[in-house]
Amino acid sequence: AQTVTQSQPEMSVQEAETVTLSCTYDTSESDYYLFWYKQPPSRQMILVIRQEAYKQQNATENRFSVNFQKAAKSFSLKISDSQLGDAAMYFCAYRSSYNFNKFYFGSGTKLNVKP
Amino acid sequence: NAGVTQTPKFQVLKTGQSMTLQCAQDMNHEYMSWYRQDPGMGLRLIHYSVGAGITDQGEVPNGYNVSRSTTEDFPLRLLSAAPSQTSVYFCASKGPHSTDTQYFGPGTRLTVL
């Protein structure tokens, strides 16, 4: 089974600064998808960004971007110009291209944003 | 368009009791899944369905049953609740294409005493 590891249980960033959350994964598959989800205190899971493994270009969504290193099996999330509303748990997730239902999640990183 | 809805939001059970967590989606999605989220851990897949009448096990299926009689509904049944099933449960749905986004419900916090 695939495994997803987030080695930073908690991180803090100053408002307007940049922070990077780390994620590594283990798989023998060549085609897959990677995701970052945000979970605020409301518990709602919100998709932040997605990366297809066959795409070399790193995905970006406004202030959120990823650094996808396929050979290293690394998938980090960079949040630029951090805002108070970015404070939440962030989960990295892996999904096979062969089974659209099987998502594997990391244990999460709690992001604190200081004013 | 309500998306994915779950009921109840909170539930307390005694060991050995049974109950059903309800999940419904109004997006005509074929794929639906149930996850549990425990403290310090990410979401883990319990069961999933690729369409009405078709279900399969995920990572942690023991102690849970599911059925999918309609496209819209995907209930999760606990036949005999145990304290180890204390968790937050999320239902999710997704369209059939690999690029489709998975949408999550708001979750049910279940406590088994």
Going residue by residue through chain B (113 aa), what tens digit of pLDDT does each one get?
679 999 999 999 999 999 999 999 999 999 999 999 998 788 999 999 999 999 999 989 999 999 999 999 999 999 999 999 999 999 999 988 877 889 999 999 999 99
Q: Are the Cβ atoms of B45 and A100 closer than 8 angstroms?
A: no
Residues of chain A with pLDDT under 50: none
- Rounded to 5 degrees, what angle do the CA atoms B47, A73, A86 make? 70
Q: Are the Cβ atoms of A100 and B96 closer than 8 angstroms?
A: yes
Contacts of B42 in chain A (CB under 8 A): 4, 6, 91, 93, 104-108
**Best to test chain B binding among A5, A44, A89, A100 (most B CBs inside 10 Å):** A100
Beta pairing class for A88-96 and B108-112: unpaired
Q: For residues A104 and A59, give the distance between their C-alpha atoms in angstroms, rounded to a whole number.
A: 20
Q: For residues A102 and B97, give the distance between their C-alpha atoms in angstroms, rounded to a whole number.
A: 14
Contacts of A40 in chain B (CB under 8 A): none
Provide the β-strand partners of residue A68.
A75
For residue range A11-44, list pLDDT tens digits in order: 999 999 999 999 999 999 888 999 999 999 988 9
pLDDT of residue A1: 67
Residues with Cβ within 8 Å of A97's Cβ and at least 6 positions away in sequence, in order, are: A29, A31, A32, A33, A53, B98
Residue for token digits 């944003």?
A: A113
Q: Does B90 touch chain A (CB under 8 A)?
A: yes
pLDDT of residue A4: 95
**How close B6 gets to chain A, by Cα (Å)?**
12
